[in-house]
Amino acid sequence: MNAGETQRRPWIVGVSGASGTPYAAAVLRALLEAGESVDLVVSRASRLTLLDETQISFRDAHWQDDLREWLSRGADGKPGTFETDVDGVRHWSAGDLAAGPSSGSYPSKGMLIVPASTACVAGVALGLSKDLLQRAAGVTLKERRPLVVAVRETPLNGQTLRHLVTLDDAGASVVPASPAFYAGATHIQDLVDFVAGRVLDAAGVEHGLYRRWKGELGGGDATRTT
């Protein structure tokens, strides 16, 4: 790197195999719109949820095309709803344990796991590093960088609850993928954007994904005109 050249410092976004690929799409779009660079890791299992929820096969060899198509979809699955420039994204294969984010010396702002499966929560809590996603999360914790874990499962058993406490104790922010209704949601996308917005709040990234509470009951009601 030449003197004066600024170093790329991305957010690592890990997509694991829990239901909720629209949450990941909303987070990715908002990060890119905020001018952040992104390193993307898509677990093997999440390719199944992505296929199930969007009918998109995510291919390592064609990741840019597949990502562009994925990010264009609204939560209702309609293609062409959004247009996102994916030039700021670098993709790493989940099996590539020599990838940049596998080392603490690789620059990053932190990591967002969205959605996080209970298997992923267990793997990170126990330090298993069974793939790049889990390794990058462990690295993020050891480097004391922000780690946000948007867990998606219901009901939660005691084992997962204990793993979540372990992650909280280690400094991670546990942000359950549980939408709220006070921000005036009228569409599925509003509920998705609320969760994505809370994930970004935990990371300290600015966004305009949902209407913030203003201290007034009914203030988020989109049907009110006064």
Ligand X SMILES: Cc1cc2nc3c(=O)[nH]c(=O)nc-3n(C[C@H](O)[C@H](O)[C@H](O)COP(=O)(O)O)c2cc1C
CA distance 41 to 100: 11
- Cβ pair 99, 92 in contact under 8 A: yes
**Residue 16 in the binding site for ligand X (CB under 6 A):** yes
Alpha-carbon separation of residue 57 from 12, 23, 53 (angstroms)? 21, 17, 11
**Residue 43 in the binding site for ligand X (CB under 6 A):** yes
Instruction: Single out the residue of 17, 22, 146, 220 in contact with ligand X (rule: CB under 6 A).
Output: 17
CA distance 92 to 101: 9
CA distance 2 to 122: 41
* 8-state DSSP, 206: -
Q: Which one of the spans 80-88, 114-122, 166-174, 201-209 is the region binding ligand X (CB under 6 A)?
A: 114-122
Instruction: Find out whether 182 is annotated in a ligand binding site.
Output: yes
Instruction: Find out whether 198 is annotated in a ligand binding site.
Output: yes
> Of 177 and 209, which has the nearer Cβ to ligand X?
177
- Farthest-apart Cα atoms in the chain, separation: 57
> Of 18 and 67, which has the nearer Cβ to ligand X?
18
Instruction: Find out whether 110 is annotated in a ligand binding site.
Output: no
Instruction: Single out the residue of 91, 109, 135, 152 in contact with ligand X (rule: CB under 6 A).
Output: 152
Instruction: Single out the residue of 9, 34, 48, 95 in contact with ligand X (rule: CB under 6 A).
Output: 48
**Residue 93 in the binding site for ligand X (CB under 6 A):** no
Cα separation of the two ends of the chain: 55
Q: Which residues pair with 151 in a beta bridge?
A: 116
- Tokens read off for 20: 């909720």
Q: Which residues pair with 113 in a beta bridge?
A: 14, 149
Q: How far is the CB of 189 from ligand X (least distance, A)?
A: 19
Q: How far is the CB of 22 from ligand X (least distance, A)?
A: 13
Instruction: Single out the residue of 26, 32, 89, 120 in contact with ligand X (rule: CB under 6 A).
Output: 120
**Residue 52 in the binding site for ligand X (CB under 6 A):** yes
Q: Which residue is nearest to ligand X (CB)?
A: 17
Amino acid at 204: G
**Residue 18 in the binding site for ligand X (CB under 6 A):** yes
Which residues are at the interface with ligand X (CB under 6 A)?
Answer: 16-19, 43, 45-46, 48-49, 52, 117-120, 152-153
